[in-house]
Structure 1
């Protein structure tokens, strides 16, 4: 029989091992869960791990942070355009990931990427600078003719790009963007990019204001999200996703 001191030592050693296993095993399980993310409720298609990447710009320019959720090959399915998401002032690229938009589009065979727009820097202080910024983003991401989704504040980037580089876009989805009054009807009339003008019916200021200008785009259609405010994609994500997918499907 072991001495009492030896038995006590073995008991303490066993208790220590049990404590170590208790701490480590949940962490291991959590690591396995994070490596293969699960689909959010209400999304379609297969889900794979999301990637958040910092992509540097040219020397002296602000870096680009982007999020992409992929359910298969990096490139989109044949006949489906890439989709680039900008964001409003109070949001980031994370918004489109948390909403399930990136996963939903990936499951439908689209390559969807959301970027973080830079803050106030000299490089994007002018409309020309913001056009150059998006030019470089498309080049860095290898997007040929994407659909550009632009809510609210991001109109400062998207609208000058649309007017200057509309031929580089397969489609444009403005969601009550700012800055629409900065351009004349004649300028909009020269753009041949297919456009879905989207806003919530409770957005009584920016939504109708943007519509007054954007309705001069020759190839536009309008979708009003019921019972939704300025950030209609947050208020009614299913209605927003339905309208967006319907527009993307008719571009194929």
Structure 2
């Protein structure tokens, strides 16, 4: 008799615990934030831009894009992808400051397929034109580190009025254009590099300094990928430049 009562008690206790667990789980689910809506806390959404060629992008939507603040488009270097700018916190930081910040995977990198269009300077310029149209970006600031100069510089020369600003970070390809061509570009420019980059940075500076509306920011103790070596200094320099644009 005593054994039967003990078993009944255990069964009742188990049923009670099951009921409590059943009631608690929905409440726990309701209390969790919706990860897809946490842009203010650094959530970055990813997708594939429509059209041909398809382009993979990451974007940290600003909770409220502030009036007069340009969109910002990030390219990447040879060893990197759009993920770099997400991992560094750059996209979320700019979104928090009221900017629409987007990073793309260039053709053949990350999740963007390779395209024949990228084989020529004219094709690479047309590719960026396609990106701006598909993403609905009008007169953005273009951030171009290292290898991405092969895309950014031809676009700058062909569509200088399409950019609100230009931030070359020791890009390749600067010697492909003449001093006269650079002097014809009126786009506000921040030439940014690390003082330990003794390869591309000096050559890029020598050519880019012919841009009439340029300023220079040197990150002390940083190498070629200066934004990785000194992220806080990089962000400070970038935001300072963006805030001065009209």
Q: TM-score range by the shorter chain?
A: 0.7 to 0.9
Q: CA deviation at 1:88?
A: 0.6
Q: Does 1:69 align with 2:40?
A: no
Separation (CA, whole Å) in 2 of partners of 1:89 and 1:28: 42
Unaligned runs of 5+ in 1: 39-45
Q: CA deviation at 1:121?
A: 2.5
Q: CA deviation at 1:185?
A: 1.2
Q: Does 1:98 align with 2:87?
A: yes
Q: Does 1:183 align with 2:174?
A: no
Q: Does 1:47 align with 2:41?
A: yes
Contact 1:84 1:148 in 2 (8 A): yes
Separation (CA, whole Å) in 2 of partners of 1:213 and 1:57: 35
RMSD of aligned alpha carbons: 2.8
TM-score, L = length of structure 1: 0.83
2:72 is aligned to 83
Q: Classify the secondary structure of the residue corresponding to 1:118.
A: coil
Cα distance per residue 1:165-212 (max 9 Å; x no partner): 011001000000011111111111111111000000000111111001
Separation (CA, whole Å) in 2 of partners of 1:37 and 1:99: 17
Runs of at least 4 residues off by over 3 Å: 1-4, 27-38
Q: Does 1:114 align with 2:103?
A: yes
Aligned residues: 236
Contact 1:172 1:194 in 2 (8 A): yes
Separation (CA, whole Å) in 2 of partners of 1:112 and 1:247: 15
Cα distance per residue 1:43-89 (max 9 Å; x no partner): xxx4353211111222xx2x11111112314xx31111111000111
Q: CA deviation at 1:124?
A: 1.4
Separation (CA, whole Å) in 1 of partners of 2:193 and 2:128: 23
> Where do 1:163-178 residues align within 5 Å?
163-178=157-172
Distance 1:29 1:170, change over 3 A: same
Contact 1:47 1:71 in 2 (8 A): no
Separation (CA, whole Å) in 2 of partners of 1:65 and 1:191: 29
1:203 is aligned to 197
Q: Classify the secondary structure of the residue corresponding to 2:41.
A: coil
* Alignment equivalent of 2:233, drawn from 232, 235, 239: 239
Separation (CA, whole Å) in 1 of partners of 2:240 and 2:44: 24
Separation (CA, whole Å) in 2 of partners of 1:48 and 1:241: 15
Unaligned runs of 5+ in 2: 109-113
Q: Classify the secondary structure of the residue corresponding to 2:62.
A: coil
Separation (CA, whole Å) in 1 of partners of 2:72 and 2:122: 22
Distance 1:48 1:224, change over 3 A: closer
Separation (CA, whole Å) in 2 of partners of 1:225 and 1:198: 8
Q: Classify the secondary structure of the residue corresponding to 1:244.
A: helix
